[in-house]
Amino acid sequence: MENFTFYSPTKFVFGKDTESQCGKLVKEFGGSKVLIHFGGGSVVKSGLLDRVKKSLDEEKIPYVELGGVQPNPRDVKVYEGIELCKKENIDFILAVGGGSVIDSAKAIALGNEYDGDFWDFYCGKAAPQKATPVATVLTIAAAGSEGSGDSVITKEEGMVKRGAGGECIRPKFSVLNPELTQTLPAYQTACGITDIMAHVFERYFTNTKDVETTDRLCEAVLLAMINEAPKVIANPNDYQARANIMWAGMVAHNNIVGVGRSQDWNSHGIEHELSGLYDCAHGAGLAVIMPAWMKFVMKHDVMRFAQMAVRIWGCKMDFSNPEKTACEGIQAFRNFLNSIGMPSTLAEVGGKAEDIPTLVKNFGLAEGAKTGGFVNLSSEDIAEIYKLAL
Q: Give the binding site for ligand NZQ (CB under 6 A).
A: 39-43, 71-72, 97-101, 103, 139-140, 142-145, 148, 150-152, 180-181, 183-184, 188, 191-192, 195, 253, 268, 275, 282-283
Q: Choose the one of Zn ion, ligand NZQ, none that binds residue 146, judging by a C-beta under 5 to 8 angstroms depending on kind.
A: none
- Residue nearer to ligand NZQ on the CB measure, 78 or 184: 184
Collapsing DSSP to helix, strand or coil, 65 comes out as strand
- Please, are residues 80 and 108 in contact by the beta-carbon 8 Å criterion? no
Residue 241 CB, nearest approach to ligand NZQ (Å):
15
The residue (of 43 and 346) whose beta carbon lies closer to ligand NZQ is 43
142 binding partner (options Zn ion, ligand NZQ, none; Cβ < 5 to 8 Å by kind): ligand NZQ
> Between residues 81 and 144, which has the closer beta carbon with respect to ligand NZQ?
144
Q: Which is nearer to Zn ion, 19 or 195 (CB)?
A: 195
Binding residues for Zn ion, how many (CB under 5 A)? 1
Q: Which amino acid is at 52?
A: V
Task: Please state, in angstroms and as integers, the Cα–Cα distance from residue 351 to each residue in 107, 138, 291, following that order.
Answer: 28, 30, 16
- 150 makes contact with Zn ion (CB under 5 A): no
Least distance in angstroms from the C-beta of 27 to ligand NZQ: 26
279 or 301, CB closer to ligand NZQ?
279
Task: Give strand pairing partners of 371.
Answer: 377
Q: How far is the CB of 308 from ligand NZQ (least distance, A)?
A: 20
Tell me which of ligand NZQ, Zn ion, none is bound by residue 104, counting a contact when its beta carbon lies within the kind-specific cut-off of 5 to 8 angstroms.
none
* Residue with smaller CB distance to Zn ion, 133 or 249: 249
Nearer to ligand NZQ, 145 or 307 (CB): 145
Give Cα separations from 330 to 34, 68, 142, 173, 293 (angstroms): 46, 38, 21, 37, 10
- The torsion defined by the Cα of 327, 333, 336 and 340, in degrees rounded to 10, comes to -140
DSSP strand pairing (134-138 vs 92-97): parallel
C-beta separation of 94 from 34 below 8 A: yes
Contact partner, 232, from ligand NZQ, Zn ion, none, Cβ < 5-8 Å per class: none
Query: By rule CB under 5 A, what string of x and - marks binding of each residue 164-203 to Zn ion?
Result: -------------------------------x--------
The rounded distance, in Å, linking the Cα atoms of 384 and 127 is: 32
Q: Which one of ligand NZQ, Zn ion, none interacts with residue 183, CB within 5 to 8 A by kind? A: ligand NZQ
- Cβ neighbours for 24, distance < 8 A, ≥ 6 positions apart: 55, 59
Which of helix, strand or coil describes residue 182? helix
Smallest gap from Cβ 217 to Zn ion, in A, equals 18
By beta-carbon proximity to Zn ion, the closer residue of 53 and 272 is 272
CB 255, min distance to ligand NZQ, A: 10
Segments of the chain assigned E as strands: 11-14, 34-38, 63-66, 92-97, 134-138, 150-155, 160-165, 173-176
Closest separation between CB of residue 287 and Zn ion, Å?
11
- For Zn ion, which is the closer residue by CB, 195 or 381? 195
In angstroms, rounded to a whole number, what is the distance separating the alpha carbons of residues 151 and 101? 10
What are 11's strand-pairing partners? 173
In the complex, least distance from residue 328 CB atom to ligand NZQ, rounded to whole angstroms: 27
Which among ligand NZQ, Zn ion, none contacts residue 145 (Cβ within 5 to 8 A by kind)? ligand NZQ
Taking the complex as a whole, how short is the minimal distance between the CB of residue 116 and Zn ion, in angstroms? 28
**Interface contacts to Zn ion, rule CB under 5 A:** 195
